[in-house]
Structure 1
Amino acid sequence: MQDVEKPFYFCEMHPKDLSIHDFSYDLPEEKIAAYPLSKRDESKLLVYRNGDITESHYYDLDTFLPESSLLIFNNTKVVEARIIFKKPTGGAIELFCLEPDDTYHDVTTAMLQKGTVKWKCLVGGAKKWKEGALEKIIAFDGRELTLSAAKLVQHSDYFLIEFSWNDSAISFAEVLHHGGILPLPPYMHRTAEESDNERYQTIYAKHDGSVAAPTAGLHFTESLFEKFEKKNIQRDFVTLHVGAGTFKPVKADTMKGHEMHAEFIDVRDELIRNLLSHLDKNIVAVGTTSLRTIESLYWLGLKTILHPDTSPEDLHITQWEPYELPHENVTVADALTSLLSWMKKNEAERLITKTQIIIAPGYELKVAKVLITNFHQPQSTLLLLVAAIAGDDWKNIYKYALENDFRFLSYGDGCLISVKPKA
């Protein structure tokens, strides 16, 4: 094992002590993209390398990546998570499906439930929902399906809802697809339209479970993938189901007062082996969710080194563990190899768990060397992640984008950010 820098608890400033107010900028409303461009890969691309900023478009992304690069995409699929119920009196109550009840092992298992399922939800108009179940008639393949929703428990930040429907052959994923509405981010200030059903999904979206798109992937097209193949640029996939917590504002004065949202990740053993074979090459995370997933793999592997007998139920990453676990002599290859061995011992070809990792200034990327991402909201954990990679140059990146007609947030343009070399 090679020596690396001391763990973060020896550093002068722990990321817990960061003030979110130091990560702010003025974002005019007109800079926020309410709709996507007509062609995905015509979005502008800001390229940041070694302190220099240039601009291009996504259709030329291949020219900025060396041969044998490995791009990691998140193949989660956005579900129609908003369900509107009409009361007999005419009032509306909206249920926003956040994530499945903790009794389910993963999102996919819950999505495939038939007849009934329990889900954590936000309830719009909760005061109007006094008692009894809500009902909604859904048009399903030429017939009617009755969906019922009953309140089970009210928690501080969500309701536990039991959904049931009168056809045990139909999965909850199908119920949402026919009876729900795609949940566009609140800053778009509009409801989803027919075109959003295609454009608010990546072209490789596969596994139902997200309530927000992994937006960095929205710019990719089949023609761009063909360019990658000609240059021997490879691609692989992880699954992180994006939760509503991605929009959760940081209200605490310092980051130690902010609880990072936990999200399900699903990773195949082949992906980990692919990462291992590219550690000496250029590993590119497409989106913050892909980055959080592959960086979490290092820490999961480290935990299997520190505690080889960890059970599958106990192997997950909490918010501050990456800054407090002893890791100064553990390489990425060591951690990923140990994780593969642990999976083999536990007879698992897929690793399904939760990560709460927060990547903020002070964190040094373990696996990825480059991030492709959109432009994020002021005072957000996503902006902290960008600052962890670019350092104070995040301000120059965003200043350039604002002054050169880049479009911001989910349907906006994006940037390619290479890890800033150490001074």
Structure 2
Amino acid sequence: MNNKLKEMSEKSTKFTSSLGIKYPSHRDEPLKTGLRWLKGKRADDGAEGLWRIHDKLYDLNEFIQKHPGGAEWIELTQGTDITEAFETHHLTSIPEKLLQNLFIRPAKTPRNSPFTFKEGGFYKTMKRNIAKKLADVPKAPAERSKKIADFLLTTYIVLALMAAIWRSFTCGMLSGIFLSLTAIAAHNFFHQKDNFRMYYFNFTLLEYKEWRISHALSHHLHTNTINDLEISSLEPFIEYLPGQKKILEQLVKIVISPIVYCFIFFGSFVRSVVQILAKEKAFDAVVLLPFSVLALMVVFSGGDIVFSSVMFFWVQLSGSLHFGAVGVNAAHHHPDIFHDGDTPRPKHELDWGIHQLDAVMDRKDITGSHFLVLTNFGDHALHHMFPTIDHGLLEYLYPTFLKTCSEFGIEWRLSSQIELVKGQIKQIAKIKPNEEPPRPLKPIKFL
């Protein structure tokens, strides 16, 4: 009886999704990782060990090595509902035709996700329009993205070596900032098919493979919901979802949030080591990539291992602070942005694309610059809806994007960087959920 009462008490304290999403299995485990998030999805999605797309189950085993985007995407998602990933990662009808030969049977349970992809709906129409527009978009900006990423990585390494040689913490701090910019730019590439620039992300103590789960498969597809791992992984240090929060505790968390940012890189590495030691995942030599720069620092400093190690720590800490500050203030956290717990739209308006615009604000002081977009998580709404399209191409899609939004009466919101910083702080402090649903559909004014 006592155990049953305890279980009931624990369940009563859990967050209740206003979107009707089942409380994710394994969400409250102390070690919050992408692999555990996927484990929870396998328990909750009704995919029966196969791959679920909408209300059908498919066996993709024979297709894994043939997948144009790389085998990893398919291997990671076995046993889960990949509807959102399938819809947003493929812009043509070819994948749908390929699926016909891989169908096994209908799913036995309803989807756990509340979002829809109806023919003639907002997202499906937007995707069709964007796919047509892409045929006329120049390819040069995508090549420019590669050159920018290469420049950022090179600058990071040069500054790290200068910091070691000159024993300069200023150079070390600048190196850390360029390391962060490199990682943010590399995020553009790990969304795409396998390529060597996705490994640039691993020059931090983060891992691109972990972020393909936590960011590409979780955050992008389940933005600001209880299924968003980028929200749950910061808890209890930083809490964004409204409800069951105490104002004094939240004010303390606002004060300590910069300290949390400083240890994002280190925390990720420690978590990875714990997983490897616990045999939750296999050792991959790529986790040692960041230490290649440390080795160079030791060599160029004349063999000073102690100082080089201290400087390497300083570089990673500086980079982590910059990365965290940019990331959490990029687009998603503001009292006027929808977070699970707020009153949602009516069910007939829960188109996945509409939800993305409800859960984002773009920055007018970032949009328009290829460099700033690539290094500051810019053009966020378009990037969320079409994550595999290179950031350099997004600016060419705005006329089509805005026209489709206007046709459906959907608003695209622009704010400033400083307003989103203020809004992010207010969202942490916010206790009560929004009682009104997101703004009603209405025509927007073109810029």
Same fold (TM over 0.5): no
Q: What's the TM-score, normalizing by structure 2?
A: 0.27
More strand by share: 1
Q: What's the TM-score, normalizing by structure 1?
A: 0.28
Q: Which structure carries more relative contact order (alpha carbon 8 Å, separation 6+)?
A: 1
